[in-house]
């Protein structure tokens, strides 16, 4: 009996997930909803918008996905929990603000230059986005797919001031070092994503991000593939999942929002000449 009582005093390991983040911790056995909420708050602090409503969900091995906690649930064994928004704030859905946005630049590398359709055009637009990010103080995260074989980001893309430039072999950009960088951005809500290839790394990154509760805006005039067919169907699929497919000018003007914004004239100078009207508009 003494051995059983001693075992019950031990904390139970729990993986606490929120948005793009997952952190292992532990709680006493018998911990219920209120204790778990406080644990989430103690782990993620300012990352959680206290004005929104959330629900705690438990990963079910039987169903292979997260399900809502049953009434009266208490912790009894090792498990995975996540804090998920209970409702979407319609007033912010699809909106962008400089304080809650990060830019993802995906695999704009030298070896892709001859293979990707209209690569020169998306480099030009990507430059605009990076310049806009610097003007507005928006963090930029840059990935390079197997740079040993595919080269570094093209020289035309000025990565000065980027928060993170990292190599990868996984197609998605959502790796532990990226999650750590995102954890340093309080109140993060939106990711503006662009690069190559639309149907591979862009698509898998976008799906990983929305699966973690972030809004994703894919910049169509700064994203391409080797095949326009692949690009077209990827963008259509992503739009059906609730991802915003947009343009560079729309993103930059949405971020300043007002002609009286102190940085409006600098942003205006970037978009004064329209982005290239390339074959990216083609269906095939």
> Active-site residues: which are they?
107, 168, 201
Q: How far apart, in whole angstroms, are the C-alpha atoms of residue 164 and residue 141?
A: 5
Q: How far apart, in whole angstroms, are the C-alpha atoms of residue 103 and residue 244?
A: 14
DSSP string, 41-75: HHHHGGGS-TTS-EEEEEEETTTTEEEEPPTT---
> Is 188 within 8 Å of 47 (Cβ atoms)?
yes
**Does 197 sit behind a cis peptide bond, omega within 30 degrees of 0 on the bond before it?**
yes
Q: How far apart, in whole angstroms, are the C-alpha atoms of residue 189 and residue 47?
A: 10
Q: How far apart, in whole angstroms, are the C-alpha atoms of residue 244 and residue 261?
A: 24
Q: How far apart, in whole angstroms, are the C-alpha atoms of residue 249 and residue 235?
A: 18
> Is 231 within 8 Å of 117 (Cβ atoms)?
yes
Q: How far apart, in whole angstroms, are the C-alpha atoms of residue 65 and residue 108?
A: 34
Both tokens of 38, joined, read 């406080």
Total Cβ atoms within 10 A of residue 78? 11
CA nearest 206: which of 172, 179, 175?
172
């Amino acid at each position: 009996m003494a051995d059983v009582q001693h075992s019950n005093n031990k904390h139970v390991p729990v993986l606490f997930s929120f948005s793009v983040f997952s952190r292992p911790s532990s709680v006493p056995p018998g911990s219920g909803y209120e204790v778990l909420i406080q644990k989430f708050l103690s782990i993620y602090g300012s990352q959680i918008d206290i004005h929104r409503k959330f629900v705690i969900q438990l990963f079910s091995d039987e169903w292979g996905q997260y399900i809502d906690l049953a009434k009266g649930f208490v912790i009894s064994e090792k498990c995975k929990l996540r804090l998920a928004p209970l409702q979407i704030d319609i007033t912010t859905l699809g909106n962008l603000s400089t304080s809650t946005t990060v830019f993802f630049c995906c695999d704009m590398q030298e070896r892709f230059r001859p293979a990707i359709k209209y690569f020169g055009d998306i480099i030009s637009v990507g430059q605009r986005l990076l310049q806009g990010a610097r003007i507005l103080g928006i963090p930029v995260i840059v990935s390079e797919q197997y740079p040993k074989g595919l080269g570094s980001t093209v020289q035309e893309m000025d990565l000065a001031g980027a928060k993170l430039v990292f190599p990868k072999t996984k197609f998605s950009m959502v790796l532990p070092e990226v999650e750590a960088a995102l954890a340093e951005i309080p109140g993060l809500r939106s990711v503006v994503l662009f690069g190559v290839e639309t149907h591979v790394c862009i698509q898998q990154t976008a799906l990983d991000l929305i699966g973690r509760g972030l809004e994703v805006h894919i910049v169509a005039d700064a994203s391409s593939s080797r095949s326009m067919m692949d690009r077209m169907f990827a963008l259509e699929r992503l739009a059906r999942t609730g991802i915003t497919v947009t343009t560079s000018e729309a993103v930059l003007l949405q971020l300043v929002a007002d002609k009286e914004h102190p940085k409006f004239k600098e942003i205006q100078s970037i978009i004064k000449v329209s982005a290239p009207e390339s074959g990216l508009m083609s269906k095939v």
